[in-house]
Structure 1
Amino acid sequence: MVGFTRRYMALVRKETRQMVRDRSNLGVGLLLPVTLILLFGYGLSFDVKNAPIAVVMADQSPTARQFYSALEGSTYLAPKWVSSMAEAETLLGRGEADAIVRLPVDFTRQLAAGQAQVQLLVNGIDATLAATLEGYVNGAIASVFQQQADRVGGKSSAGGVTLVQRIWFNETGDSTWYLVPGLIALVMTLIGAFLTSLLIAREWERGTFEALFVTPVRPLEMVLAKITPFMVIGIIDLVLCLLAAKFLFQVPVRGSLLVIVIASLLYLLVSLQLGLLISGVTRNQFQASQVAMLLSFLPALMLSGFIFDLRNVPLVIQVVSQILPATHYMALIKTQFLAGNDWLMALQKCAILLLQLLLMIIATRRTLLKKLD
């Protein structure tokens, strides 16, 4: 045990000095995560706000103007009153309007008869935006129907059913709450797999790795020593992410913060081991960086549930996604942040990550055996 500790500490000092000398690694490890937090947190959003729509009103009655006021009262829509359908179509074609709302000449009479129709033309280039705008305009129409019914003391002409909607877990409907927890997984992946994928490959290219063959250092000691400095960098980035989530983006932490930290550290170890495994197999920095991008960062971005709901992808992709550590960590951390404690899920996901960590340690040790090809 004394010999292990002595060799391990000597290797840690060596790896730390090497990491500090390589300022590009420090820049990627400390500055890039901060950039990602700000870029994704402030710049990326799935919310629709102030969407420009052109409103053509052939009916100029007070009731029709009330409908226009309902559109203006929505924080999601930015209506613009245009004089003709041709002008509205021009705005839609130029991209200056996302939709056209057209009220017919007899809109007031139709509304009084309970058969009012409003034409909605939506730019379908972005299918998600089109569906969202349709929902917002329908909401404005329903509010006018309800106000008209209240005024005459009868039922709404939109129907006799009143829908009372409640949103759980993300009651503000803010996509930032959805994105920021997943961003932590991307940062841990970046620090873990991408940076450490260059460590062993760099030493093989420089010829310094063979020098360790004549020392009493063992493969497991090399594995632990190489991940230790980057583990420290990852912990710093984790703290920055948690502080940004809480104080910059006001994302609630409804579950156990301890579970979040433990799961994040476990996932960080898995990512570090994946990077070392890639580095040991490729033994080339360029190849290692490309493989790390293909096997870690891109799958964490596209196939982990960070952006796309995995229930909507083909079965083959769903199976592949379950092999990825990021998929299990992403599901766990989003649940802990927004939904609260789910102890069964936490134990299950942490057990999967722990199993993947052990398998990667065994595989990485085999790539560090003291032998020359």
Structure 2
Amino acid sequence: MHLRGLIRKESLQILRDPSSIAIAFLMPIVLLLLFGYGVSLDANHVPIGFVTGAATPQSESLVGAFRHSAYFKPTQYANMARAREALMAHRIDAIVHLQDDFPARLLTHRPLAIQLIVNGVDANKARIVQGYVGATVQDWLTRYQQIHGRESSMPVTLIPRIWFNSEVRSRDYLVPGLVAVIMTLIGALLTALVMAREWERGTLEALMVTPVNLREILLGKLIPYFILGMGGMVLSLVMALWLFNVPLRGSLIVLVFCAALFLLAALGMGLLISVIARNQFVAALVAIITTFLPAFLLSGFIFDINSMPNWLQWLTHLVAARYFVAILQTLFLAGNVWSVILPNALALAIMATFFIGVSRLRMNKRLE
């Protein structure tokens, strides 16, 4: 009965009061720092796999051209099976496959066929990688023929294959990421105002003299936003599948389970902020800076994490949305790739336990 009353109370008080001061002074600073250091639309140091068969001077020369390029970070694989496994696990973004007769065709001046397999989850990046690979191969071929005193007129046919997003539609890549952003807004940003609002209005002391305990107060703050967040997830899923025609190749049960883990982590972050901050303005500002902006900019939702500076790549591991975006894109476009889903789901479970646990401890200390 107590818990039901608390849930009803919180359901009627989901409000936000943004401040013009934050928009005028603090927000530009945060945006300039994040955009200046963390955002890049260039595909730099793209991890790419090479399958060349037997090592020959010609194949090693081509791989060397990619190693000396600022756009690629090549890795050689013994066979296509291992390269495909690396592509499925997101360790590489593309595969360049040289046929066994590559050296013979090069030496006899016959047409070359080079297979390129690209991860098409990020449609824009897939196009960029495809263009970069073609330009690098053509540049290497021109220099190779010049070194050997031949005319640079040998025809080269690049045979591309786009995996996971064969139509290279940006919508298929962006819509799953939007689910994470929406749930971050519902979970973290709104709950950040909960305890701060209680402190400002003086109603927290009134709650403490009632028969309810801290556990009921905590659940009363979390449950309404959990239901709201899962409702937003369901609505987003319905729109993704039937309005935007984004494929869902993975398990719906796994998606719901991982969404619940992420929402608990987001709720825990928002609740911790609200427990620490007694002012709604401060709580809202901190929530935007520490949850929404990182979810939008540092999760891999739009901007490639591999193109960021190394220190910022490490920082992205503190962003819960990074793990959920990876799970969403995998489930929607690739399927149940457990080597991606399980580690990211475990990270979300750890973060949810940590933030909710710390929030519970902080509530004890602040109410003494």
Q: Residue 236 of structure 1 is aligned with which of 231, 234, 237?
A: 231
Q: Residue type of the partner of 1:343?
A: W
- What's the secondary structure of 2:224's corresponding residue? helix
User: Which residue of the partner structure matches residue 330 of structure 2?
Assistant: 335
Q: Trace 1:1-373 onto structure 2 (pairs within 5 A).
A: 6-19=1-14, 135=131, 159-369=154-364
**Structure 2: distance between partners of 1:370 and 1:263:** 31
Cα 1:371–1:135 change in 2 (3 A) is closer
Return structure 1 stretches of 4+ with deviation > 4 angstroms.
Answer: 22-25, 370-373
**Structure 1: distance between partners of 2:257 and 2:203:** 35
- The Cα shift of 1:24 comes to 8.8
**Structure 1: distance between partners of 2:17 and 2:367:** 30
Q: CA RMSD in A?
A: 2.8
What is the total number of aligned residue pairs between the two structures? 246
**Structure 1: distance between partners of 2:230 and 2:341:** 20
Q: What's the TM-score once normalised by structure 2's chain length?
A: 0.61
- What's the secondary structure of 1:164's corresponding residue? strand
- The Cα shift of 1:18 comes to 3.6
- What's the secondary structure of 1:369's corresponding residue? helix
- The Cα shift of 1:135 comes to 5.0
Q: Mind listing any 5+ residue stretches in structure 1 that lack a counterpart? A: 1-5, 26-45, 47-127, 143-156
State the Cα deviation string for residues 35-75 of structure 1 (Å, max 9, x = none). Answer: xxxxxxxxxxx9xxxxxxxxxxxxxxxxxxxxxxxxxxxxx
**Structure 1: distance between partners of 2:153 and 2:242:** 43
User: Which residue of the partner structure matches residue 97 of structure 2?
Assistant: none
Q: Residue type of the partner of 1:346?
A: I
Question: Contact 1:255–1:340 (CA<8 Å) still a contact in 2?
Answer: yes
**Structure 1: distance between partners of 2:249 and 2:366:** 51
Question: Contact 2:200–2:279 (CA<8 Å) still a contact in 1?
Answer: yes
% identical equivalent positions: 46
Question: Contact 1:332–1:346 (CA<8 Å) still a contact in 2?
Answer: yes
State the Cα deviation string for residues 104-129 of structure 1 (Å, max 9, x = none). Answer: xxxxxxxxxxxxxxxxxxxxxxxx99
Q: What's the TM-score once normalised by structure 1's chain length?
A: 0.61
Q: Residue type of the partner of 1:15?
A: E
Question: Contact 1:194–1:292 (CA<8 Å) still a contact in 2?
Answer: yes
State the Cα deviation string for residues 282-341 of structure 1 (Å, max 9, x = none). Answer: 111000010000000000011111111111211111111011111111111111111111
- The Cα shift of 1:23 comes to 9.6
- The Cα shift of 1:345 comes to 2.4
Cα 1:372–1:220 change in 2 (3 A) is closer
Q: Residue type of the partner of 2:202?
A: G
**Structure 2: distance between partners of 1:236 and 1:135:** 41
- What's the secondary structure of 1:301's corresponding residue? helix
Q: Residue type of the partner of 2:235?
A: L
